[in-house]
Structure 1
Amino acid sequence: MADAPKDDAPLGTRGRPGRGTGDATPSSAARSLADPAKKAAQKKPAAKKPAAKKPAAKTAATTSAAKKSAAKKPAIKRPVVEKPVTEAAPPTDAPVEPEAPAVQIAPKADVPPIGSPVELITVTSTEEPSAPRPEPEPAAPRLSLVRDDEAPDEARAAPRNGIPLSDWIAALSEGAQSVLGEDWEAKAAQLLAQLRRRLTGDYEVDTFGLDPQLHAIGMAAIRPIAEKWFRIEVRGADRIPSDGGALVVANHSGTIPVDAAMTTLVVNDHAHRTLRLLGADLVFTLPFVGEVARKMGATLACNEDAERLLAEGHIVAVWPEGFKGVGKPYSERYKLQRFGRGGFVSAAMRAGVPIVPVSIIGAEEIYPLVGNVPSLARLLGLPYMPITPFFPWLGPLGLIPLPSKWIIEFGDPIRTDAYPAEAADDPMLVFNVTDQVRETIQQTLYALLVDRGHPFI
C-alpha cells in the first residue's frame, strides 16, 4: 500500500497532524468512521458539556436575582455609637514651639584619599530663626546623700574633744597602784631593771636551773591574781621554818596545778624564802613549760634531788597525790587520794628536816572537773583531758579560772630528826608517818571548809 501524500492532512482535523487543538471539533465523517466504543466514549463528554455550562448560567442568573432582592430589601440600620468628643484645649498665652528648621543635607562627595586636606562644609538653615524658647520653671530641689568628706564644713558635726593626756596618766597611775600597791613606782623600776639585765644576759642560774630574776618577775606577775582574784587568806605562816631545810607537803587539786604557784607565792611573801618544787616527769617533757618550771625553781621529783636540796638547806615542796589528785572529778573534791609509797618521808628522814603539812581550799572550784576524754588524753600524751562547765565550750575563755575564795593553812611541823638514819628504810615506819601527814591535812580541810562557807563569797 502506497504511502499517502505528505500534503494530505488526516481526516477530522484542520491543522497539523496530532491531537486536536480545541479550536475546532471533528467532522461528522470522522465521527462516523470512529470505533463504536470510542464513539460512545465521545458521546458522554459531549453530553456533559452543556450540563457544565448550566451551573454557570444558573449562577449568573442567581447572582442577578440576588442583586435584585438585595436592592428590594430594606437596609438594616446599625445603632451609631457616638464617640466622646474631646474638647480642644483652650488656647494659652505660651508661645508655640516652632518647628525645627529643615536642614539641607549636602550630597555625598567622594572620600578624599588619606593624608589629603579635608574641606569642611558648613550646613546652614534656609529658614530664619524663630522666637527664643521660654525658660523652663525651676524644678523642686531633690535630696541627695553626700559623703562626709564632700559635705560643707558647716554641715559636719563638731569634733569631740579627746581625753587630756593628764587624765590618761592619772588613770594609769591609779591602775598601777591598785595592782602593784602603794610602792608601785619602786616595783615598776625593779621590774624594768630586771628586764634590762635579762636582755643584756647579765643573770645567773644555780645548779638546778633556778633563775632568781625570772622567779622574782613571776612572783610579781601572779601576786595581783592571788590578792585580787583568789583573795588568798594565809594561816600559820609563822610555822614555816625561817632557815634550814624543810619539806612542805600539801594536797593537790584544781585540774591545773595553780595551787603550786600560789603556795610558792605565799612562802616567798611571808617567809621570804624561795620554795623549790618537786614536779612530775611530764612537766619537764612539755616544750616551754619544762624550761620555765626549772627557772622558777622546780626540779624532778626523785629522792636524789630532794635529799640534795634538803641537805643544802632549801625549803622543798611536794604534792604526793600527783595527777590523781589534780585530775579528780568535782564530785570527789577535798577527798585526798593515795599519798604514794611515802618516798617524801624517806627523803625527810635521811636529811633530818621537819615535814610541814599544808592544807589548801579554793583550788577545787577554779576549774570544776565534770568530765574526761581518755582517748584524746592518750592521743596527746596527757594523764587526762578535762571537761569543765566552760571548757572547751567557750574556747579560750574557758581557761579563765573562777574567782573562788582560797585559804592556805600551814600545820605544825612533824619532826624527823628524832628517828635514826636507818629508819628511812623501815617501810612500816615510813607508812605510819605518811598516814599521819595525810590525816592531818584531811582533817584540816574539813575544818577550813566549814570556816569558809560559800566558795565564791
Structure 2
Amino acid sequence: MEGEAVTTGSSAQVIPLHRSRDDEAQPAAPREHDAPVVAFPGATADTEQQEQGDPLARFLTFLRHRLTGDYTVDEFGFDPELTDTLVLPPLRVLYEKWFRVSTHGVANLPAEGGALLVANHSGVLPIDSVMTAFAVHEQRARHLRMLGADLVFKTPLLGTLARRSGQTLACGPDAERLLRAGELVGVWPEGFKGVGKPFSERYKLQRFGRGGFVSAALRTGVPIIPVSIVGAEEIYPKLADLKPLARLLGLPYFPVTPFFPLLGPLGAIPLPTKWHIEFGEPIPTDGFAAEAEEDPLLIFNLNDQVREAIQQMLYRRLSQRRSIFRD
C-alpha cells in the first residue's frame, strides 16, 4: 500500500516516497546524509564530523544505529546507511583498482530531482549496473535506484541485499513512484538479451522492449539520460551457452567463457578491462501533451531515439579506445 514501509529496529524512521502537493511546503524528508546521530555523553559536532571521515568511527556509528533502531528505511526496503557503510566501500576496489572506471558527461547528471538513466547491458554478470550506480554516487553523492529482473529478487540473500541497497522490481508503477519522488532511476532495457549476448555480438545493442521506460518518463515528466558503458563486454567473453544446463538450473543462460567453467571458481574472476561510463545529454519529456504517454508512435520514436543515442556513444568511445586494458 502507498506509504507503507518495511522497518528494522524499534524506532527506525520511515521515509515515504510519495509526496502530495500539500507536502511540498514541508521540510524534505531526511536523507542518508542528514540521518540523525545518536547523542552520547561527550559527543559534539566536531566528533560527528570526524566520524564522517573515519571509516572505523563511521562503522561504529552504524552499529550504534542498528542497536538503537535509529536509522531510515523507505517503503521499498532501501537502507541508505547500510548501503553507504557496507555495500559501497568494497565496490570501490573494483571501481578504482580493477576496472579503473573513467566517467564522462557527469554534468548531465542532475544534482537534484528525478531522472531516468537508460544504459546498455553486457558482461554475462550484471556488474555494469553496479558500477554505474557507484559512479553516480561517487560523482553526484546520489543513490541510483536500479530496476531489476524478478530473478534477482527470487534469489535468496541476493534479493534482500538488492532491496536494502535501493533496487526494486522493473515495473512501471514502482519506477513512476520513484521518479515522482525525485529519485534517479536506472534501467537496462536489453535485459538478459544484452547481459548474456555472445562475445561476437559485443557493443551491438539488443532490442529495447516495448518502451515501458519511455512511458514512465512521460508520465512523470523527467528527462531520460542515455548512458553508454564501454569495457564491460570483455570481462567474461561468452563463447557458448549450455542451454540444457541453464534450463535445469532455472537460469536465462549458462555461459561458457575461455576460463569458465574450465577453471572452476577462478574462472568467475572478471578480466581487468578498462571501463568508460558516459552520461549523455538528457532527452526532455516534459514538453509533451498529457495524452502523449498513450501514443504508441511517440513511445516507439523516443525508445528508438534513446537506443540510437546510446549506440552512437558506444561507437564514438570505441573509436577512441586503444586497448581493452588501458586508455
Q: TM-score, normalised by structure 1?
A: 0.59
CA distance in 1, matches of 2:67, 2:231: 37
Deviations 1:411-453 (A, max 9, x none): 0000000011210111110000000000010011011112122
CA distance in 2, matches of 1:259, 1:201: 33
SS in structure 1 of the partner of residue 262 of structure 2: coil
1:152 corresponding residue in structure 2: none
CA distance in 2, matches of 1:263, 1:401: 16
CA distance in 2, matches of 1:335, 1:191: 43
Tell me if 1:352 matches 2:194. no
Q: Judging changes above 3 Å, is the alpha-carbon distance between structure 1 residues 383 and 293 closer, same or farther for their aligned structure 2 residues? A: same
CA distance in 2, matches of 1:350, 1:271: 25
| Identical columns (%) | 61
SS in structure 1 of the partner of residue 54 of structure 2: helix
* Superposition deviation, residue 399 in structure 1: 1.1
Deviations 1:185-206 (A, max 9, x none): 7123213432453356543311
Letter in 2 for 1:225: L
Q: Judging changes above 3 Å, is the alpha-carbon distance between structure 1 residues 327 and 228 closer, same or farther for their aligned structure 2 residues? A: same
Tell me if 1:429 matches 2:295. no
Letter in 1 for 2:62: Q
Q: Are 2:147 and 2:170, in contact at CA under 8 Å, matched by a contact in 1? A: yes
Q: Residues 20-169 of structure 1: matches in 2 within 5 Å?
A: none
* Superposition deviation, residue 396 in structure 1: 1.0
* Structure 1: 5+ residue stretches without partners: 1-182
1:203 corresponding residue in structure 2: 71
Match of 1:272 among 141, 162, 176: 141
CA distance in 2, matches of 1:254, 1:414: 26
Match of 1:310 among 179, 202, 205: 179
CA distance in 2, matches of 1:364, 1:314: 28
Q: CA RMSD in A?
A: 1.5
CA distance in 1, matches of 2:258, 2:69: 44
Q: Residues 407-422 of structure 1: matches in 2 within 5 Å?
A: 407-422=276-291
Letter in 1 for 2:310: I
CA distance in 1, matches of 2:243, 2:290: 43
* Superposition deviation, residue 184 in structure 1: 11
Deviations 1:255-289 (A, max 9, x none): 00001110111111111111101111111111111
CA distance in 2, matches of 1:212, 1:341: 32
1:193 corresponding residue in structure 2: 61
Tell me if 1:241 matches 2:115. no
Deviations 1:117-169 (A, max 9, x none): xxxxxxxxxxxxxxxxxxxxxxxxxxxxxxxxxxxxxxxxxxxxxxxxxxxxx
Tell me if 1:290 matches 2:163. no
CA distance in 2, matches of 1:289, 1:253: 19
Letter in 2 for 1:259: D
Q: Judging changes above 3 Å, is the alpha-carbon distance between structure 1 residues 192 and 394 closer, same or farther for their aligned structure 2 residues? A: farther
Match of 1:336 among 181, 195, 205: 205
CA distance in 1, matches of 2:60, 2:260: 35
Q: Are 2:79 and 2:166, in contact at CA under 8 Å, matched by a contact in 1? A: yes
Q: TM-score, normalised by structure 2?
A: 0.81
* Superposition deviation, residue 393 in structure 1: 1.1
1:403 corresponding residue in structure 2: 272
* Superposition deviation, residue 351 in structure 1: 0.1
SS in structure 1 of the partner of residue 72 of structure 2: coil
Deviations 1:26-60 (A, max 9, x none): xxxxxxxxxxxxxxxxxxxxxxxxxxxxxxxxxxx
* Superposition deviation, residue 349 in structure 1: 0.3
Return the index of the structure with the highest Cα Rg: 1
Letter in 1 for 2:66: R
2:82 corresponding residue in structure 1: 214
CA distance in 2, matches of 1:274, 1:418: 27
Letter in 2 for 1:403: P
CA distance in 2, matches of 1:187, 1:434: 43
CA distance in 2, matches of 1:315, 1:442: 22
CA distance in 2, matches of 1:261, 1:185: 24
Larger RCO: Structure 1 or Structure 2 (Cα < 8 Å, ≥ 6 residues apart)? 2
SS in structure 1 of the partner of residue 78 of structure 2: coil
Q: Residues 369-380 of structure 1: matches in 2 within 5 Å?
A: 369-380=238-249
Q: Are 2:52 and 2:58, in contact at CA under 8 Å, matched by a contact in 1? A: no
Deviations 1:65-120 (A, max 9, x none): xxxxxxxxxxxxxxxxxxxxxxxxxxxxxxxxxxxxxxxxxxxxxxxxxxxxxxxx
* Structure 2: 5+ residue stretches without partners: 1-50
Q: Judging changes above 3 Å, is the alpha-carbon distance between structure 1 residues 326 and 199 closer, same or farther for their aligned structure 2 residues? A: farther
CA distance in 1, matches of 2:55, 2:306: 38
SS in structure 1 of the partner of residue 145 of structure 2: strand
SS in structure 2 of the partner of residue 205 of structure 1: strand
CA distance in 1, matches of 2:201, 2:264: 25
Richer in strand (by share): 2
CA distance in 2, matches of 1:188, 1:201: 20
Match of 2:120 among 251, 263, 286: 251
